[in-house]
């Protein structure tokens, strides 16, 4: 079973356009919020990884397919899960739904590469690989 986490958010006015519909780029911000909470729930907050372990996980690919609209003050759930772990990369998939009825708003994914302080790709450490694959 994939490692997953769900984060609930309420649409803020600043995240909407003139029609009070969520601006498309905000979904990528929500992906980041959910991703950060997933790693925190796994006992690997980004702040600890980058500070103590000396590597970073930049986004090298981001994709979103929009299915329906969210509006100001809607409550949404952002579900994220680890779908693929490579030698130095990982892919996370996302599903955003509007609550309470779980209306599908958006699906997407991001791909991340682990890089060292020198900016070059590095192999995912065994202990992290194990947490990502459990």
Query: What local confidence, expressed as pLDDT, does residue 1 receive?
Result: 56
CATH of the domain at 103: 3.10.129.10
For residue 102, the tally of other CB atoms under 10 A from its CB is 10
Asked if 50 and 39 count as a contact pair (C-beta separation under 8 A), the reply is no
> Does the pLDDT value for residue 51 go beyond 70?
yes
Q: Single out the catalytic residue among 17, 65, 73, 134.
A: 17
In the predicted model, what is the mean pLDDT of residues 16-41? 96
DSSP for residue 18: T
Residue 53: phi, psi to the nearest 5?
-100, -20
Give the whole-angstrom CA distance, residue 88 versus residue 96: 27
Average pLDDT over residues 65-89: 97
Mean pLDDT of 43-61: 88
Per-residue confidence (pLDDT) for residue 47, from 0 to 100: 83
Start-end of H helices in the chain: 26-41, 46-48, 126-133
Q: How far apart are CA 58 and CA 78, in angstroms?
A: 20
- Kindly state the average pLDDT of the residues 65-80: 98
73 given a catalytic annotation: no
Backbone dihedral angles phi then psi of residue 46, each to the nearest 5 degrees: -55, -40
Q: Which two tokens stand for residue 44?
A: 């690997």
pLDDT at 23 over 90: yes
Domains identified in the chain, total number: 1
Q: Residue 22: which domain range?
A: 4-133
* pLDDT of 103 higher than 80: yes
Confidence grade of residue 50 (pLDDT, cut at 50, 70, 90): confident
Predicted confidence (pLDDT) at residue 37 exceeds the cutoff of 90:
yes
Mean pLDDT value across residues 42-63:
89
pTM for this entry:
0.94
Indicate the average pLDDT of the chain.
94
Please report, for residues 14, 77, 98, 99, 107, the alpha-carbon distance to residue 17 in angstroms, rounded to integers and kept in the order given.
8, 20, 18, 20, 20
């Amino acid at each position: 079973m994939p490692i997953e986490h769900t984060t609930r958010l309420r649409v803020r006015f600043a995240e909407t356009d003139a029609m009070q519909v969520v601006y498309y780029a905000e979904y990528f911000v929500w992906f980041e919020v959910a991703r950060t909470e997933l790693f925190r729930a796994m006992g690997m907050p980004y702040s600890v990884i980058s500070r103590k372990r000396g590597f970073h996980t930049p986004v090298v690919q981001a994709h979103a397919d929009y299915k329906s609209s969210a509006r100001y003050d809607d409550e949404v759930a952002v579900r994220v899960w680890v779908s693929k772990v490579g030698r130095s990369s990982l892919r996370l998939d996302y599903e955003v739904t509007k609550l309470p009825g779980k209306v599908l708003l958006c699906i997407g994914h991001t791909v991340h590469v682990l890089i060292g302080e020198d900016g070059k790709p590095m192999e995912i450490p065994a202990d992290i690989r194990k947490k990502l694959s459990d």
